[in-house]
Amino acid sequence: MAGTVAMRRTAARRQPDTSATTEPTWVRTLLIVVSLIFLAIFLLLPLLAVFSQALAKGWEVYAQSLWDADALAAIRLTLLMALIVVPINTVFGVIAAWAIAKFQFVGKSLLITFIDLPYSVSPVIAGLIFVLLFGRQGWMGPWLESHDIRIIFAIPGIVLATLFVTFPFVARELIPLMQAQGTEEEEAACVLGASGLQTFWRVTLPNIKWGLLYGVILCNARTMGEFGAVSVVSGHIRGETNTMPLQIENLYHEYNITAAFAVASLMALLALVTLVFKSFLQWKTSQQLSAEELGYTGD
């Protein structure tokens, strides 16, 4: 008896259509077709255009465009940005999420608001803030100049601007996850004699690793792709302060379309790899979650 009930329930889950929510076939087809066409026009077509333009003059020109000294410098700088910014924001994100999810303190909601700030501020404004702070006419400009320190139109400025724009990604990903997991496992670890650090490495970190990786990947994608804020602070010095997105813009303005699209194709590839990673991580996280849920209802 219990068996038939259970079977009926899974059957019902597989076919959730009840007469109240079922649409006629033509409506369903229409909705699916419309969304597919939309995706094709706005996502697939541009992607194809990037690769076809990049390869329009053949593989040789494509390779040459990428092997160009300035292009290589831009690629190197972009990778350097990722190497600096992503680890810093990962550590910051974990610390902030930990503090918000596991402790009660005054000013907690203020901290959450601040973490969200880069989402709501235009990247161009973010860049301008740093120019106003560290630029030659800025607040700290004279002092920096007298000590021969360059921030704006140099790599430190690009790092700062990118840090600002990308810092919510990891924290935002972790906060809901850590809040949902609560503090019972950490308490259990403490009672069993684990120190704070042991608790973090052995209990907290393994529990958040998929969400953390997901946040890191999003953060990395944005770091490499950031244009607005970096554009304001970098000064577009070819071979020195041009990241890949800036290099693409430069080439495009010089009517060097093939080279522009060649570099763009690299970024598109990066986006595709990120997408695959992202889907994998999402699948992994949901698998972990559903396994736990199944366990809980399995009593």
Partner 1 sequence: MGIEARNITKTFGTFTALRNVSLSVATGELVALLGPSGSGKTTLLRIIAGLEEPDDGSGAILFHDEDVARTQVGNRKVGFVFQHYALFRHMTVFENVAFGLRVRPKSQRPGRNLIKYKVMRLLKLVQLESMANRYPHQLSGGQRQRVALARALAIEPKVLLLDEPFGALDARVRQELRQWLRRLHDEIHLTSLFVTHDQDEALELADRVAVMNNGQIEQIGTPDDVFHKPATEFVVKFLGQVNFFHARLEGGKVHFSTLAWESPEHAGTPSQPAHVFIRPHELDVNIIRNGHPALQATVKRIHSAGPNVRLDLTAESGERLCAEMTQERYRSLNITSGSTVFVTPRDVKVFADKP
Choices 22-30, 35-43, 120-128, 193-201 (CB under 8 A): range interacting with partner 1 = 193-201
Q: Please answer whether residues 221 and 273 qualify as being in contact, where contact means their C-beta atoms are separated by less than 8 angstroms.
A: no
Instruction: Give the number of residues in contact with partner 1, rule: CB under 8 A.
Output: 23
Q: What is the Cα–Cα distance from 151 to 11, expressed in whole angstroms?
A: 63
* Residues near 117 by beta carbon (within 8 Å), at least 6 away in sequence: 168
If one asks whether residue 298 binds partner 1 (CB under 8 A), the answer comes out as yes
Contact pattern from residue 197 through residue 226 relative to partner 1, giving x for each residue in contact according to CB under 8 A and a dash for the rest: -x---xx--xx-------------------
Q: What is the Cα–Cα distance from 184 to 187, expressed in whole angstroms?
A: 5
Q: What is the Cα–Cα distance from 61 to 185, expressed in whole angstroms?
A: 57
If one asks whether residue 17 binds partner 1 (CB under 8 A), the answer comes out as no
Nearer to partner 1, 94 or 266 (CB): 94
- Report the SS3 class of residue 237: coil
Tokens of 98: 């930990």
Q: How far is the CB of 184 from partner 1 (least distance, A)?
A: 4
Among 49, 79, 273, 291, binds partner 1 (CB under 8 A): 291
If one asks whether residue 190 binds partner 1 (CB under 8 A), the answer comes out as yes
Nearer to partner 1, 202 or 253 (CB): 202
Nearer to partner 1, 3 or 295 (CB): 295
Q: How far is the CB of 181 from partner 1 (least distance, A)?
A: 9
Q: What is the Cα–Cα distance from 245 to 242, expressed in whole angstroms?
A: 8
Place of tokens 């598109």: 268
Q: How far is the CB of 206 from partner 1 (least distance, A)?
A: 4
Nearer to partner 1, 129 or 203 (CB): 203
If one asks whether residue 193 binds partner 1 (CB under 8 A), the answer comes out as yes
* DSSP of 77-105: HHHHHHHHHHHHHHHHHHHHHHHHHH---
Contact pattern from residue 32 through residue 71 relative to partner 1, giving x for each residue in contact according to CB under 8 A and a dash for the rest: ----------------------------------------
If one asks whether residue 3 binds partner 1 (CB under 8 A), the answer comes out as no
Nearer to partner 1, 17 or 299 (CB): 299
Residue ranges in the chain assigned as alpha helix (H): 2-14, 25-39, 45-54, 58-67, 69-102, 108-120, 123-134, 141-146, 155-166, 168-181, 184-191, 196-199, 205-225, 228-234, 244-253, 257-297
Contact pattern from residue 170 through residue 189 relative to partner 1, giving x for each residue in contact according to CB under 8 A and a dash for the rest: --------------xx-xxx
Nearer to partner 1, 76 or 202 (CB): 202
If one asks whether residue 296 binds partner 1 (CB under 8 A), the answer comes out as yes
Among 55, 99, 132, 194, binds partner 1 (CB under 8 A): 194
Biggest CA–CA distance in the chain, Å, is 85
Residue of 151, 111, 112 lying closest to 129 (CA atoms)? 151
* Site of interaction with partner 1 (CB under 8 A): 184-185, 187-195, 198, 202-203, 206-207, 291-292, 294-296, 298-299
